[in-house]
Amino acid sequence: MAVTRLLDIASRSLGVYQRALDVTAHNVSNANNPQYSRQRVVLTAEKSEIRADGDWGTGVSIRDILRVRDNLNEIQIRTYNQKYSAANKKSELLGQIETVFAEPSDSGLSSLINKFFNSWDKLAASPNDTSLRNAVVQSAQLMGDKLQNIHDGLAQVKEDISSEMTDRVKEINNYIVQIQGMNKQIVESTNVGNVPNDLMDKRDDAIAELSKLVNITVNYDNKGSANISIGGVFATDSYNYVQFKADNTNGQLSMVTEDGTTRVAINSGELFSFTDLFNNKIPDYQSKIDTVANSIMNSVNTAHSTGYTLQTPPTTGLNFFDNYANGKLTINANILADVKNIAVSGNGQSGNGDIAVLIAGLTKSGVISGETIGNYYSSIVSTLGADKLLQEQNASSNQLVLDQLELQKESVSGVSVDEEMTNVIKFQRSYDASARLIKIADEMLQTLLSMV
């Protein structure tokens, strides 16, 4: 055996362990990088040389530098990212709506409606008392203000959602462009036999962030490109990408391709919370509040129009409320001008309060499809509370699963400094041993040369 062979094997080993130390240093420097997946050097024996006197080993080489990652775990993380983001954002937005309703409290609509009807009961005891008449008007105005406040609050939440949706779609577009760029680079790198682990880490991180925003499907082709579709619509591969925009047509919020031809079927992620609340939940709450307001207006007007005012002579046929539209409940201008126009007398006499008693009793009547105003409104509040609680619990349970999946991911892909330090010692010793081999080979050569 040639002594130079020993030199070859040893010098190749030096290169291998130098590279292994580089990989370890790279791992250690990225220990706190949440995007990073640890890389593992896979060593293999070089192909042996087959000779007449047997197989001769030719040293060690690096077969691969693996990015340690669990693909199944990645898929599950994406799925639960979408679920958690949808539930969490929905919970947050429903919390804003809860603030608008401000229940249970004295400033909530329930209390103000009750106080409005109670004011009629008090007026019934002294129908000609101006201060009690003023109190009826004031309580009606407070109730009307709250209805307007709820209407405006819900409209504001919708506006905020629309604005945030536009921003999120821009974010999605940015991620798509990034991913397409990285796909292209990865394919080019793979074609020349390289393994672009760091680029793949960055791409996977962008895909993970994208999955929080909207439901995506990811398919990896054999060239390493991650081909992504969003809600069934093509988004990007290594060659092309599509851009999207937020669309608000006929009061329906959605995401469409930039040319406006294709609508994305959003069913998860933050965008799902936006579209569901904007298109379904908020209009439903507003519609029910409108039902409450219209029922109050119609039932009070029906009773009030049969009563007589305190004017001389007493007049009848007057409505208490003028109109309800866009959240604004308007009191009859004649009543605002003169509270004597509140018609509570059943027979024209100034001390008769029969109509006031009748109006006060409406709170116990089934004026909304057989349900009382109080019960109907309570069911709105209860539904809102239950929706929020459900989303909170969904977010919480999805968070638990996500945390567990992240822990598993970290367990597989995370860098352990202890482990890397052990590897450093290992590779360093191997490097030292290879260097010692070179020295020994050198001494052997010198011995041979000195013999000549």
Partner 1 sequence: MRISDQLLSNRYLSGVNNTKSSMQKIQQQILTQSKINKPSDSPSGTVKTMRIQNQIDSYDTYINNIDNGLALLQTTATSMEKIQDEVQSLSIMLTDINSAVIDNSKLNGFADKVDLAINSLLDLANTQFNNKYIFGGTDYSAEPYGYNVAGTAVIQNVPSTAGELKIRINTNTIQKINTTGQELFGTIDGTDIFNTLVTIRDNLRAGIKPTAAQSQLVSTFNTNLTNKMSTAGETINRLTSTKDLLESQKLELEDLQQKETGVDTSQAIIDLQNQQYYLDLSYKMSSMILPKSLLDFL
Binding of partner 1 at residue 324 (CB under 8 A)? no
Tell which one of 1, 32, 250, 333 touches partner 1 (CB under 8 A): 32
Tell which one of 17, 80, 101, 431 touches partner 1 (CB under 8 A): 101
Residues 111 to 170 in contact with partner 1, rule: CB under 8 A = 111, 114-115, 118, 121-122, 124-129
Binding of partner 1 at residue 353 (CB under 8 A)? yes
> Cα separation of 392 and 162, whole Å?
22
* Closest approach of partner 1 to the CB of residue 418, in Å: 4
* Closest approach of partner 1 to the CB of residue 298, in Å: 21
Binding of partner 1 at residue 349 (CB under 8 A)? yes
Binding of partner 1 at residue 90 (CB under 8 A)? no
* Closest approach of partner 1 to the CB of residue 361, in Å: 8
Binding of partner 1 at residue 25 (CB under 8 A)? no
Stretch that binds partner 1, among 154-162, 269-277, 321-329, 371-379 (CB under 8 A): 371-379
Instruction: Say if residue 313 is preceded by a cis peptide, omega within 30 of 0.
Output: yes
* Closest approach of partner 1 to the CB of residue 314, in Å: 10
Instruction: For Cα atoms 421, 408, 81, give the angle at the middle one, nearest 5 degrees.
Output: 130
Stretch that binds partner 1, among 106-114, 218-226, 285-293, 442-450 (CB under 8 A): 106-114
Output the 3-class SS for the chain.
CCHHHHHHHHHHHHHHHHHHHHHHHHHHHCCCCCCCCCEEEEEEECCCEEECCEEECCCEEEEEEEECCCHHHHHHHHHHHHHHHHHHHHHHHHHHHHHHHCCCCCCCHHHHHHHHHHHHHHHHHCCCCHHHHHHHHHHHHHHHHHHHHHHHHHHHHHHHHHHHHHHHHHHHHHHHHHHHHHHHHHHHHHHCCCCCHHHHHHHHHHHHHHHHHCCEEEEECCCCCEEEEECCEEEECCCCECCEEEEEECCEEEEEECCCCCECCCCCHHHHHHHHHHHHHHHHHHHHHHHHHHHHHHHHHHHHCCCECCCCCCCECCCCEEEEECCEEEECHHHHHCHHHCCCECCCCCCCCHHHHHHHHHHHCCCECCECHHHHHHHHHHHHHHHHHHHHHHHHHHHHHHHHHHHHHHHHHCCCHHHHHHHHHHHHHHHHHHHHHHHHHHHHHHHHHHHC
Tell which one of 74, 103, 201, 237 touches partner 1 (CB under 8 A): 103
Binding of partner 1 at residue 411 (CB under 8 A)? yes
> Cα separation of 396 and 88, whole Å?
8
In terms of DSSP bridges, do strands 226-230 and 233-236 run parallel, antiparallel, or are they unpaired?
antiparallel
Binding of partner 1 at residue 406 (CB under 8 A)? yes
Residue with tokens 């329906």: 252
Q: Does residue 408 contact residue 20 with C-beta atoms inside 8 Å?
A: no
Stretch that binds partner 1, among 150-158, 187-195, 241-249, 401-409 (CB under 8 A): 401-409
* Closest approach of partner 1 to the CB of residue 427, in Å: 14
Tell which one of 266, 299, 414, 431 touches partner 1 (CB under 8 A): 414
Binding of partner 1 at residue 432 (CB under 8 A)? no
Binding of partner 1 at residue 110 (CB under 8 A)? yes
Binding of partner 1 at residue 398 (CB under 8 A)? no
- The residue among 298 and 378 lying less far from partner 1, judged by its C-beta, is 378
Total of residues contacting partner 1 (CB under 8 A): 63
Binding of partner 1 at residue 306 (CB under 8 A)? no
* Closest approach of partner 1 to the CB of residue 199, in Å: 21
Tell which one of 52, 259, 418, 450 touches partner 1 (CB under 8 A): 418
- The residue among 270 and 387 lying less far from partner 1, judged by its C-beta, is 387
Binding of partner 1 at residue 71 (CB under 8 A)? no
* Closest approach of partner 1 to the CB of residue 436, in Å: 22
Question: Using CB under 8 A as the criterion, which residues of the chain lie in contact with partner 1 when the complex forms?
Answer: 31-32, 34, 38, 94-95, 98-99, 101, 103-104, 106, 108, 110-111, 114-115, 118, 121-122, 124-129, 345, 347, 349-354, 357, 360-361, 364, 374, 378-379, 381-386, 388-389, 392, 403, 406-407, 410-412, 414-418, 421-422
